[in-house]
Amino acid sequence: MSDQHPTAVVKSKIDHKSRLPLIWAIPVVTVIIGIWLAWSTLSERGPLITITLETAEGLQANMSHVKHKDVDMGVVESIGLTKDLKRALVTVRMNREAEPLLTDKAQFWVVRPRFFAGAISGLQTLFSGSYIDLLPSSDGGTPTRTFVGLENPPVLQSDIPGRTFLLRANRIGSLNLGSPIMYRDLDVGEILGWDIGKMARDITIHAFVRAPFDQYVHDDSRFWNASGASVQLGPNGLQLQIESLKAVILGGIAFETPDNPQIVAESSPDQPFQLFDSQDAADSSTYKRSLPFVANFTGTVTGLAAGSPVTLRGQKIGEVTGVSLVYDKAADNVLIPVHFTLEPERIAMLDLPTDAGLDARLQGLVRRGLRVKLESSSILTGQKQLAIDIYKDAGPGELGKEGNAYVIPVLGSGSDDIATAATSLVNRLNSIPFESIGKNLDQTLAGANTLVNDKELEQSVTELKATLASAQTLVNNLNHGVTPAMQRLPAIANGLESTVQRTDKLIASLQTGYGGDSGFSRDATRLMMQLTDAARSIRVLADLLSRHPEALIRGRTDQGVQ
């Protein structure tokens, strides 16, 4: 018996089609990704622009960026020089989203640490490095790819609402970019820049006023230079006035709008205004009428200059416009014509004619005593001013005219003010020969010193002192010697009085015995009278010596020496 096993038949099928290995999928995917990245990069890649700068300090190729509001807008690709080798040429590859901002009104500048417009900016670049800042224009513009960079950043770096006005001035003074504009002591704007006017006759300042303060700028508003500090010495003492600390450092401009019951329309952008030198000049501009005058002085007018006030009883009604020198052939003397203007509108209720009647009106005032004199406005600084008033004791005078200016007579020569009088007093004091007086006084003191130190005088004084001591000793001895006698005088007087009384009794007895008409009686009566007088004299002497014992030597001082 035999075992039977099944037989397995194996058949193979050969596929003649070629297949790509899976390993080749990796480079294919890599290429696809590369193409996509390249397309993405190119699609996001912005235009290439060039910026010319004064210097490329702090910038580095492929590292420095262009930013707007701290958003990356591009990167610096290369840094070189312009063809004339005078400026730096920076090539920047911008992002696609920055393309709408690249117009001819866009501004570029390098951000670096600097002090500008009263503030320190760019301190963050000390650690991150310098970069280029972009400020697009909100007014659109023409697309461009070539730009000129700013040396300093613009004052306004964002879209701040407000309006720009034009201020015309003769000089810029201490104003700077970024100088503040003040309204009622509030910082409401800043200076954006300035332009030179036609033929360089004036300067046009671009003043930006932020909203909502720009609505307070009307056509009758007044602007003035408020730079620095104003120091005035007046009746209220020394006054220091400043608009703000920033205005002291950078200069500043202030403005105000009169409170007019008639509402004036707000000023439109780029409305021109006159920039006055001071607030006082701005206030004076509100007076529409101004009359020219001339006063001819023959004396010194030191301290008087253009801008000096003209006052009426202490209140300003005008100002000096010029001081000059003129030779008068008729008088053979040099005159000092002082030209000044008066603003009659400063005097309320004053109605001066505007036609030919003005000459007659002023002539009448001059004949009544209208005069001009020179006064000191400050003794400390020596500044002068003109004072005009009616002086009744001024004497005769006539009104003159030079062109359209009225000539007012002068009261005094111009040198009779307080400062001149003080100067004259000082000159008189200087004329006193203090040196000669000092020498004579020195000689006198030297002679007195010699006399005092003289040995003969010292010996005489010593001898006089000894003599006085001897006299004092004599008086003391007399006082001690006479005092006991003085003490006994009252007792003697009393004894004499008793004797007189007893004698009177005896006489009475004798009168009874011998009669009142006998010779003995009469002799006895005379004897009694004499004894009474003697007793009285002794009492008086005793009283005198008790009070003044020195009378024994000197005698009575009220009736001469006894």
Q: How far apart are CA 353 and CA 437, in angstroms?
A: 65
Q: How far apart are CA 423 and CA 402, in angstroms?
A: 34
Q: How far apart are CA 404 and CA 399, in angstroms?
A: 13
Q: Would the CA dihedral through 124, 125, 131, 137 be positive or negative?
A: positive
User: What pLDDT, in 10s, does the model give residues 233-263?
Assistant: 555 555 555 655 566 666 788 999 887 656 6
Q: Would the CA dihedral through 296, 299, 305, 307 be positive or negative?
A: negative
Biggest distance spanned by C-alpha atoms of the chain: 247
DSSP β-ladder status, 186-196 and 146-148: unpaired
Q: How far apart are CA 294 and CA 336, in angstroms?
A: 10
User: What pLDDT, in 10s, does the model give residues 332-389?
Assistant: 888 889 999 998 888 888 888 877 788 888 888 888 889 999 888 776 677 888 999 9
User: What pLDDT, in 10s, does the model give residues 14-26?
Assistant: 555 555 566 777 7
Contact 375, 384 (CB under 8 A): yes
Confidence band for 1, pLDDT divided at 50, 70 and 90: very low
Share in percent of the chain as helix, strand, coil (round to 5)? 35, 30, 35
For residue 351, the Cα-to-chain-centroid distance in whole angstroms is 37
DSSP β-ladder status, 333-342 and 291-297: antiparallel
User: What pLDDT, in 10s, does the model give residues 347-363?
Assistant: 888 888 877 788 888 88
Confidence band for 560, pLDDT divided at 50, 70 and 90: very low
> Of 123, 127, 136, which is closest to residue 71 (Cα–Cα)?
136
DSSP string, 474-487: HHHHHHHHHHHHHH
How many other CB atoms sit within 10 Å of the CB of residue 343? 18
Confidence band for 451, pLDDT divided at 50, 70 and 90: low
DSSP β-ladder status, 384-390 and 309-312: parallel
DSSP β-ladder status, 65-68 and 71-81: antiparallel
User: What pLDDT, in 10s, does the model give residues 57-105?
Assistant: 889 998 999 998 889 999 999 999 999 989 999 999 998 888 888 998 8
Question: In which residue are the tokens 């003397």 written?
Answer: 333
Q: Give the single-character DSSP code of 54.
A: S
Q: Which residues pair with 239 in a beta bridge?
A: 232
DSSP β-ladder status, 180-183 and 253-256: parallel
> Can you tell me whether residue 534 is helix, strand or coil?
helix
| In the chain, domain spans | 36-148, 162-284, 292-424, 455-554
Where do the DSSP E strands lie in 184-236?
186-196, 203-210, 222-225, 229-234
Where do the DSSP E strands lie in 448-517?
none
Q: How far apart are CA 178 and CA 429, in angstroms?
A: 55
For residue 394, the Cα-to-chain-centroid distance in whole angstroms is 37
> Of 329, 227, 226, 204, which is closest to residue 273 (Cα–Cα)?
204
List phi, psi (to 5°) of 241: -125, 130
Q: Residues, the chain, total?
A: 562
List phi, psi (to 5°) of 441: -65, -35
User: What pLDDT, in 10s, does the model give residues 174-203?
Assistant: 788 888 899 988 889 988 888 876 656 788
For residue 542, the Cα-to-chain-centroid distance in whole angstroms is 86
Q: How far apart are CA 77 and CA 64, in angstroms?
A: 9
Question: In which residue are the tokens 């050969």 written?
Answer: 14
